[in-house]
Amino acid sequence: MAKIKKIFVTVKGFKKTAYHHYGYSPLSLLKFIYYGGIRINTFIVYENDLRRVLRNHNIDPDFRVVKPTIEELDKIRTGKDLPREFYYDKIYNAKTCYLALKDDQIAYIHWVLFRGDYSRFLNLSDGVAELNYNTTLPEFRGHSLAAKVMAYISKDLQRIGYKKLMGVVHEFNYPQNKCMLKAGFEEVTRIKALGPFNRKLTVSSND
């Protein structure tokens, strides 16, 4: 039953996600299929070493960042038409996310993965976390929310003892790559993928 529900949520959000990333055009679906299932893609692996002094996040005072439980997230998103990125708890059983809110309106979401969570590219060890699955809703773009929330998450995880925060981004996702660098991350390696197939990189907190 859980597997059927996961498939339903994935299919239901397919068009919405394609349009969200590539615009409202018939070509958007083809681009989504091509980049996600056919093309040989290169992904950049980023690392933020949480054992050093980190950059300040300097989030606009109009926004606040919260770390809801899944139950709280359910209440926040109920009745709203949101892209698939807001439902990765139902698709991949992700358990932890951060939200940026403006006047209690959802502006941004970023999921964080830990050891034992599903990660396409990384095997996470103790003390290592991964940023994954994020999006800014269109009406809230232009505030550098991605870079600022990533810097906020880095400091929050540093505070509770994590040693590294990772991120994996498609090489042609120029805005997200720029945000990673702006938030203090550094490129450590690259991974090739043929559609959904790729090798996994093991990341230790001791490296």
d(CA 31, CA 21): 10
Residue 15: pLDDT above 60? no
Summarised one tens digit per residue, pLDDT across range 107-120 is: 999 999 999 999 99
**Which tokens sit at 196?**
């959904």
CA atoms in the 13 A half-sphere facing the CB of 118: 9
Query: Where is mean pLDDT largest: 16-20, 127-131, 195-199?
Result: 127-131
Tell me the pLDDT tens digit for each residue of 117-176.
999 999 999 999 999 999 999 999 999 999 999 999 999 999 999 999 999 999 999 999
Report how far residue 207's alpha carbon sits from residue 22's, in angstroms, rounded to the nearest whole number.
37
pLDDT score for 207: 80
- Predicted TM-score (pTM) of the model is 0.83
**What domains, with CATH codes, occur in the chain?**
40-203 (3.40.630.30)
Distance of CA 121 to the CA centre of its chain: 13
Each residue's pLDDT tens digit, 54-92: 998 899 999 999 999 999 999 999 999 999 999 999 999
d(CA 23, CA 14): 13
Number of Cβ atoms within 10 Å of the Cβ of 67 = 14
